[in-house]
Amino acid sequence: MCGIVGAVAQRDVADILVEGLRRLEYRGYDSAGVAIINNDNELQRVRRLGKVQELADAVNNNPLSGGTGIAHTRWATHGVPSEENAHPHISSNNIAVVHNGIIENHQELKNLLIEQGYVFTSQTDTEVIAHLVDHLLKTEASLLAAVQKACKQFIGAYGTVIMDRRDPERLVVARSGSPLVIGYGLGENFLASDMMALLPVTRKFAFLEEGDVAEITRFEVNIFDKKGNAVERDATEAQVSHDAGDKGEYRHYMLKEIYEQPTAIRNTLENRIIDNQINTEAFAGDGVNADQILKDIDHVQIIACGTSYHSGMVARYWLEQYAGVSCNIEIASEFRYRKSFVPKNALLVTISQSGETADTLAALRLGKELGYASSLTICNVPGSSLVRESDMAFMTKAGAEIGVASTKAFTTQLVGLMMMTIAIGKNKGMTPELQQELVQSLMSLPAKIDEVLALAKDIEALAEDFADKHHSLFLGRGDQYPIAMEGALKLKEISYIHAEAYAAGELKHGPLALIDADMPVIVVAPNNDLIEKLKSNVEEVRARGGLMYVFADTDAKFASDDTMKVIQVPHCDEAIAPIVYTLPLQLLSYYVAIIKGTDVDQPRNLAKSVTVE
């Protein structure tokens, strides 16, 4: 979602800010802007609709000097994408503000501020922050005090940075529901919504916690918690490499990330399996005994959104089939707003690539209040909110995922969830033989995925058939049903072709009515217990003139004919089939998107790391 970058330095910071925004581009956005205080203490602001490059060109043509500045990429929630609505927003030509999140009571605040004589120039909720801080500064002694007071009036979520041209060497930042990280430099300091933005200028970071307000100058960072007490937040050295954001030889990040999956899975497994047993330290958290917690639980409640929700759905099949533990899964935005029942000894598992997904984080906080026995997050970003706020964390080692459409984060989540299944199952009667079998299946994954990636050319050829289609149907059964859902999500996200997924047994309860030659049907068909049932479903489609694309196990005996194109997928163990069959569907969406000419890495209307609800 939107990106924030800020700097207080002696040197000119325009290039640092714009480069920071570039490094956050992958999150998806619709406009960008920067404001810098120049040496005459004047505010200079440039905003552009569209790409950061438009902003960079504008700044190049009209260079901005000055060492204190803020910049933003916006993903509109309130008000259309436009230059007027792009951040920073300014009040009284003194205060400039950037903001991620939503101020839910903006209308009420706006009415009060209009009464005070403020004139609004945008349709955003954000503009109230600028005017309210300006208004409060008439009575408050400092920018810090004004921001602290303003925050008490906001309902909703914000990661916000405010600067005042009359106090030019200071930024004040506040966090409630949207992440912010401070980057420490030598005689200069920075901040951003994601440390990726600041890797060219520093590697030393401290994450703000919920309710924190901080004052940043060139030489000092003073952080205050929600009660206004001065606090320290641990600063750590970033481990991620400076070039984590490079595409290398690949045309798109998504393709690079698809091909990184064998390595990502290898890294996720590394040092976590000892003598064919899952090392429960992989689930460790501060001061908790993961081993004991996993032993004591009798039920698992999984909460996630989007792609992560699909990995959780697969885990439900695994937990009940292999570990003999009951499991529910729910979309975070539903769970958080309904009254739910908490079973005894239940573990709350959240899944999120970024660890900042707003709905999932809110669901975790609610779950803690409701009294779940413990919480575990499956997450790709160390230090993120979900990791910090959960009792335990399993870190997927996918590395930075830049493409908006998740690929390697999904498959490594599945690896983590299978490891969790084994770790829980071993105390619930899972035989050592089954544990060993599942562990061996996991270990075979990287090589198996390499074999599937070798099918890329065949899948690329298949993609031609989709270019003129507007709708498609994905079918799977059992633990492949969520994979069909993930395949459909991938296709709609990046190619904008309407795609729906059904459990194949549901066809006759409605979707068969849609079948005709213009509705390609994609089927995932590993050779498992349900294969004969699935073949009957395939016949139901064929009998109604449907055209099918079947990803089938080499042993499942599917053959191409007039109505069906079959891609033979190398045989794999049943337990890991959901992971293996994800790959051809990722490749299919990618090649269809290429043919359609869509923006693969930054699909329209979407954003990475969904930090607003």
Q: Which of the residues 141 through 170 are near ligand HGA (CB under 6 A)?
A: none
Binding residue (CB under 6 A) for ligand HGA from 254, 381, 386, 612: 612
Q: Between residues 100 and 176, which has the closer beta carbon with respect to ligand HGA? A: 100
Told to check if 2 binds ligand HGA by CB under 6 A, we report: yes
Binding residue (CB under 6 A) for ligand HGA from 125, 212, 486, 553: 125
Q: How far is the CB of 101 from ligand HGA (least distance, A)?
A: 5
Q: Between residues 548 and 612, which has the closer beta carbon with respect to ligand HGA? A: 612
Could you say which of 397, 426, 490, 608 is catalytic? 608
Told to check if 354 binds ligand HGA by CB under 6 A, we report: no
Q: What SS3 class is residue 43?
A: strand
Are the C-beta atoms of 523 and 475 separated by less than 8 Å? yes
DSSP strands (E only) in 50-88: 68-74
- What number of CA atoms fall less than 13 Å from residue 367's CA on the CB side? 33
Q: Between residues 131 and 299, which has the closer beta carbon with respect to ligand HGA? A: 131
Using the Cα atoms of residue 580, residue 583, residue 584 and residue 586 in order, give the sign of their dihedral.
positive
2 is catalytic: yes
- Residue partners of 135: CB distance under 8 A and separation at least 6: 113, 116, 118
Binding residue (CB under 6 A) for ligand HGA from 126, 267, 390, 589: 126
Q: How far is the CB of 162 from ligand HGA (least distance, A)?
A: 14
Q: How far is the CB of 462 from ligand HGA (least distance, A)?
A: 36
Between CA 582 and CA 487 the distance in angstroms is: 7
Between the CA atoms of 23, 27, 30 and 36, what dihedral angle is there, to the nearest 10 degrees?
-40
Q: What SS3 class is residue 258?
A: helix
Between CA 253 and CA 248 the distance in angstroms is: 9
Q: Which of the residues 422 through 441 are near ligand HGA (CB under 6 A)?
A: none
Binding residue (CB under 6 A) for ligand HGA from 44, 68, 124, 202: 124
Told to check if 359 binds ligand HGA by CB under 6 A, we report: no
DSSP state at residue 356 = -
Q: Between residues 47 and 256, which has the closer beta carbon with respect to ligand HGA? A: 47
Between CA 239 and CA 246 the distance in angstroms is: 16
Phi-psi region of 308 (alpha: psi -120 to 50; beta: other; left: phi over 0): alpha
Q: Between residues 74 and 252, which has the closer beta carbon with respect to ligand HGA? A: 74
Q: Between residues 13 and 102, which has the closer beta carbon with respect to ligand HGA? A: 102
Told to check if 99 binds ligand HGA by CB under 6 A, we report: yes
DSSP strands (E only) in 286-437: 299-304, 326-331, 346-352, 374-379, 392-395
Q: Which of the residues 191 through 220 are near ligand HGA (CB under 6 A)?
A: none
- Residue partners of 57: CB distance under 8 A and separation at least 6: none
Told to check if 90 binds ligand HGA by CB under 6 A, we report: no
Among all residues, whose Cβ is closest to ligand HGA?
1
Q: Between residues 41 and 77, which has the closer beta carbon with respect to ligand HGA? A: 77
Q: What is the DSSP string of 508-519?
A: GGTGGGG-STTS
Applying CB under 6 A, the span of 100-108, 142-150, 416-424, 577-585 interacting with ligand HGA comes to 100-108
Told to check if 101 binds ligand HGA by CB under 6 A, we report: yes
Are the C-beta atoms of 161 and 17 separated by less than 8 Å? no
Q: How far is the CB of 607 from ligand HGA (least distance, A)?
A: 6
Binding residue (CB under 6 A) for ligand HGA from 1, 132, 197, 566: 1
Length of the chain: 613
Angle, vertex CA 555, rays to CA 550 and CA 558, nearest 5: 35
Q: Between residues 164 and 356, which has the closer beta carbon with respect to ligand HGA? A: 356
Q: Between residues 3 and 183, which has the closer beta carbon with respect to ligand HGA? A: 3
Told to check if 602 binds ligand HGA by CB under 6 A, we report: no
Q: How far is the CB of 404 from ligand HGA (least distance, A)?
A: 13
408 is catalytic: no
Could you say which of 2, 305, 379, 572 is catalytic? 2
Applying CB under 6 A, the span of 41-49, 124-132, 348-356, 360-368 interacting with ligand HGA comes to 124-132
Binding residue (CB under 6 A) for ligand HGA from 13, 102, 196, 415: 102
Q: Which of the residues 20 through 79 are near ligand HGA (CB under 6 A)?
A: 74-79
Which H helix or E strand runs over 8? Answer: strand 3-8
Q: Between residues 78 and 247, which has the closer beta carbon with respect to ligand HGA? A: 78
Count of residues of this chain found to bind ligand HGA when the rule CB under 6 A is applied: 16
- Residue partners of 64: CB distance under 8 A and separation at least 6: 12, 14, 34, 36, 38, 44, 46
Applying CB under 6 A, the span of 98-106, 315-323, 473-481, 551-559 interacting with ligand HGA comes to 98-106
Q: How far is the CB of 385 from ligand HGA (least distance, A)?
A: 15
Nearest to 26 by CA among 611, 613, 612, 609: 609
Between CA 541 and CA 357 the distance in angstroms is: 38
Instruction: Spell out a b/e string for 553-582, using b for 16 or more CB atoms within 10 Å of the CB, else e.
Output: beebebeeeeebbbbbbeebbbbbbbbbbb
Catalytic residues: 2, 608
Residue ranges binding ligand HGA (CB under 6 A): 1-2, 74-79, 99-102, 124-126, 612
